[in-house]
Amino acid sequence: MLKPMLMDHPLIQHKISLLRDKNTGPKEFRELVGEISTLMCYEATRDLPLKEVEIETPIAVAKTKIISGTKLAFVPIFRAGLGMVDGMLNLVPTARVGHIGLYRDPETHQPIQYYKKLPVDIDKREVIVLDPMLATGGSAVDAISLLKEAGVKTIKFMCIVASPEGMKALSEAHPDVQIYCGVLDEKLNDDKYIVPGLGDAGDRIFGTK
């Protein structure tokens, strides 16, 4: 089982505090989700392999490094994961983007799939799954299972706020998946919302409540 990576960078922690504030409106909320995603992308791509190349500078030939081979895809889970895509593409503009639509049934809290569109060569790409919230873990577990069924071999999962329950469920279901998490909260409430959390991420990003 891979140890989850908690993002302790002060900028990430500061921006998560602003996200939590119930007075933060959709415009600022969206901007913060984008900025946090860019900062987390920097960490989640730290292990990309490099190769040495020669580049002619105006002065001389430099032996220097570029990213070697790895092709990336980002897969947001609808809806809230969409808010993270642009922040990721800021750093890796050539990545492909797939989409998985899941919503939690309000009674059972189980994820229900309603959409899937993945790049044709997804099985040849390293995939980072994006969702700001890891609550029961059901959505993340199902999204990653779908990607494995599509032949993806290397998968990372990136969330902004996680519950201990979600972290455990995801690590047990997919022990090969590296989790990157902004902050680990206290617990879930009876409605399976993260406490203290930040509320419903999709509604806050899109202003639907």
Residue 200 appears among annotated catalytic residues: yes
Question: Can residue 42 be called a binding residue for ligand URA (CB under 6 A)?
Answer: no
Helices (H), 92-200: 138-149, 164-173
- Evaluate whether 80 touches 133 at the Cβ level (below 8 Å): yes
Q: Is 194 a binder of ligand URA (CB under 6 A)?
A: yes
Min separation Cβ 47 and ligand PRP, Å: 25
- Interface with ligand URA, residue 135, by CB under 6 A: yes
Contact criterion met (CB below 8 Å) for 111 and 138: yes
Q: Decide if residue 79 touches ligand PRP (CB under 6 A).
A: yes
Q: Give least dist CB 73 to ligand URA, A.
A: 23
Amino acid at 70: T
Binding mask 138-157 for ligand URA (x = CB under 6 A): --------------------
List % helix, strand, coil for the chain (3-state, nearest 5). Answer: 35, 30, 35
Q: Is 192 in the site for ligand PRP (CB under 6 A)?
A: yes
Show the site string, 83-112: x = touches ligand PRP by CB under 6 A, - = not: -------------------xxx----x-x-
Helices (H) and strands (E) in the chain, counts: 6, 13
Structure tokens at 80: 């809230």
Instruction: Just list the catalytic residues.
Output: 104, 108, 200, 203
